[in-house]
Chain A
């Protein structure tokens, strides 16, 4: 389990002459395997917070600690390695590479991590079978339904056995039935793989099953339970 902690985390953007505070002095902590949901309206700062926690962005002020290491002291290369080995990302719009097949999309992360081709192939097949896409291995993203694309994205996120999965509105583009399946999948991963899931959502079903629930409004985070 990877410990994540933020201290007075703030992110501001300049838009023309004005300054927008996307994340405002957020203190957030995950120190055990949980299914954590962050709920908020569009523009409340959910994605920005997740990008900061996932080391995809740098804060304007405040600190992010991963395993008690101050990430502001890490080089870009070290931050990339943390993303590669310890964090899996699931995006609202899946962000699969369109020229690669489902299998290759999953293998890519492992390939970047330096795993052998045999290991990559076996694990990618297993992961895709686990998300119900055993018969869609060689299909390119354009040949998959949106639900299937999100499943491939989840398989890719799991490729390097991350301790944390960060999912940014993973059901935002999906119909209710597919959304339910995806939530179930993420919940299974959390429970069976002992992987922390941090999820930004509007979905009420997620709110119901989350171990920890945060709400975010105007960049301010509040722990609900």
Chain B
């Protein structure tokens, strides 16, 4: 008889598992909403933790991405910068000017050089902008015949307009983000450092650096920023075929004492420890926040279980399997994780764009359409899953406590 009933039990259990789970879920919801204030506070706690993780994580991730992108522009080339320049990824953000003619000297004197392009990279850092982790607006002066070498095959938005064709005229192309922010369109006249410039195109690119950049002929850039002095702060050098970047860099450094010639790997190596530290800190902060969430969920659930000992004892008395009780508690904490995770992702994404706006002085409205670029969906999913898993883990000890509750003990101790 016992064997027969067991077979029947297993057969029906398989067939009705889906409905059984739905019912279990309803049961969990009701249990959670039995103590509305406590559940709401716990969900809010998890949501705040998720918000913090998303906001800090996506903001730092965006900055590291922008910094990494800087190298994309000069991919495959050796960058020559002054030894006294302050550089991020070999892009000088302060000091380090030298004469444009150095590019010609390098081209003539070093046989490994196929092309040497002088570039003037301007980061107008002002005191009030020092709070920014990386500069937000850039200007770049490039000889008109060498656009492609620096920015690659970047098209213009909608195919409208053209790249500047003459070194001495006042034509510029601008990044899409700048265009949106200041409502600059093709044909518009803009003022930069007291000079009137004509916008001849808007760059269609995903690179944050180019999105915030004014590209202009080298001569024009020198005129605007350095009063016609023929100074530059970068020489982008392309090696001849068969020559490695390392060999070329060594040759340049031997030839010119006051410059650093940086290969792509060296540029990455310069920034990698900083990025690694940022990521380590980020991971550390996330870990601490997740542990705090785990403790919060565990504490609240232990409290809830101790208040509901009679219910669990009743389940034990009527023969509920241990797995049922275990699942009930784990599902409750998972629901807290799901609710907290969803709220946290919404709040976190909003906080991330507010932070981006604050740190860049770019209007908030401009960030809304790019919210999925600032907080990528894959990152949202990762954090969401992490939160749910953390909450599940937070439910394990309370669930074990719940499965250990026995009716005989309750009847003996509670009367």
* A residues adjacent to B (C-beta < 8 A): 13, 47-48, 51, 54, 56-57, 67, 69, 76-78, 80-87, 89, 91, 95-100, 108-109, 111-117, 156, 168
B406 beta carbon closer than 8 Å to chain A: yes
Complex contact B30–A85 (CB within 8 A): no
B44 beta carbon closer than 8 Å to chain A: no
User: A84's contact among B27, B310, B318, B322, by CB below 8 Å, is which?
Assistant: B318
Complex contact B317–A56 (CB within 8 A): yes
Residues of A within 8 A of B20 (CB): 111
B128 beta carbon closer than 8 Å to chain A: no
Complex contact B319–A81 (CB within 8 A): yes
The distance in angstroms between the C-alpha atoms of A83 and B9, with both chains bound, is 13
Residues of A within 8 A of B319 (CB): 80-85, 87, 109, 112
The distance in angstroms between the C-alpha atoms of A41 and B11, with both chains bound, is 45
B400 beta carbon closer than 8 Å to chain A: no
- Minimal beta-carbon separation of B171 from chain A (angstroms): 72
- Minimal beta-carbon separation of A163 from chain B (angstroms): 9
Complex contact A109–B318 (CB within 8 A): yes
The distance in angstroms between the C-alpha atoms of A114 and B18, with both chains bound, is 11
Complex contact B317–A98 (CB within 8 A): no
- Minimal beta-carbon separation of B22 from chain A (angstroms): 10
Given known A56-B408, A99-B34, contact A89–B317 (CB-CB < 8 A): yes
* B residues adjacent to A (C-beta < 8 A): 1-2, 5-6, 8-13, 15-16, 19-20, 23, 27, 30-31, 34, 310-311, 313-322, 324, 406-408, 411-412
Complex contact A81–B6 (CB within 8 A): yes
The distance in angstroms between the C-alpha atoms of A38 and B385, with both chains bound, is 55
- Minimal beta-carbon separation of A184 from chain B (angstroms): 24
Given known A51-B408, A56-B407, contact A114–B314 (CB-CB < 8 A): no
Given known A51-B407, A67-B2, contact A114–B321 (CB-CB < 8 A): no
The distance in angstroms between the C-alpha atoms of A48 and B406, with both chains bound, is 13
User: B318's contact among A77, A83, A168, by CB below 8 Å, is which?
Assistant: A83
- Minimal beta-carbon separation of B312 from chain A (angstroms): 10
Complex contact B34–A98 (CB within 8 A): yes
The distance in angstroms between the C-alpha atoms of A113 and B15, with both chains bound, is 12
Complex contact B19–A100 (CB within 8 A): no
Complex contact B11–A114 (CB within 8 A): yes
User: B321's contact among A67, A69, A77, A96, by CB below 8 Å, is which?
Assistant: A77
Residue of B nearest to A74 (CB): B2
Residue of B nearest to A42 (CB): B415
Complex contact B16–A117 (CB within 8 A): yes
Q: Can you give 6 A-B contacts (C-beta < 8 A)?
A: A51-B407, A80-B321, A81-B319, A86-B5, A111-B16, A116-B16
Residue of A nearest to B10 (CB): A114
- Minimal beta-carbon separation of A157 from chain B (angstroms): 8
Complex contact A95–B406 (CB within 8 A): no
User: B411's contact among A51, A67, A108, by CB below 8 Å, is which?
Assistant: A51
Residues of A within 8 A of B30 (CB): 99-100
Complex contact B317–A112 (CB within 8 A): no
Residue of B nearest to A99 (CB): B30
Residues of B within 8 A of A69 (CB): 2
Complex contact A76–B317 (CB within 8 A): no
The 4 A-B pairs of least Cβ separation, nearest first, read A84-B319, A114-B12, A83-B319, A57-B408
User: A114's contact among B16, B313, B406, by CB below 8 Å, is which?
Assistant: B16
Complex contact A83–B317 (CB within 8 A): yes
Residues of A within 8 A of B316 (CB): 56, 80
Residues of A within 8 A of B412 (CB): 13, 47-48
Residue of A nearest to B26 (CB): A104
Complex contact A81–B408 (CB within 8 A): no
Complex contact A112–B31 (CB within 8 A): no
Residues of B within 8 A of A77 (CB): 321-322
Residues of B within 8 A of A114 (CB): 8-13, 15-16
Residues of B within 8 A of A82 (CB): 2, 319
- Minimal beta-carbon separation of B370 from chain A (angstroms): 44
Residue of A nearest to B24 (CB): A111
Since A82-B319, A111-B16 are in contact, a sample of 7 more A-B pairs with Cβ atoms closer than 8 Å, ordered by chain A residue number, is A80-B316, A83-B319, A95-B317, A114-B10, A114-B15, A115-B16, A116-B16
Complex contact B320–A112 (CB within 8 A): yes
Complex contact A67–B320 (CB within 8 A): no
Residue of A nearest to B34 (CB): A99
Complex contact A85–B9 (CB within 8 A): yes
The distance in angstroms between the C-alpha atoms of A13 and B409, with both chains bound, is 11
Given known A76-B322, A100-B27, A114-B10, contact A67–B1 (CB-CB < 8 A): yes
- Minimal beta-carbon separation of A120 from chain B (angstroms): 9
Given known A56-B406, A117-B19, contact A97–B9 (CB-CB < 8 A): no
- Minimal beta-carbon separation of A106 from chain B (angstroms): 11
Complex contact A48–B408 (CB within 8 A): yes
The distance in angstroms between the C-alpha atoms of A69 and B3, with both chains bound, is 13
Complex contact A81–B314 (CB within 8 A): no
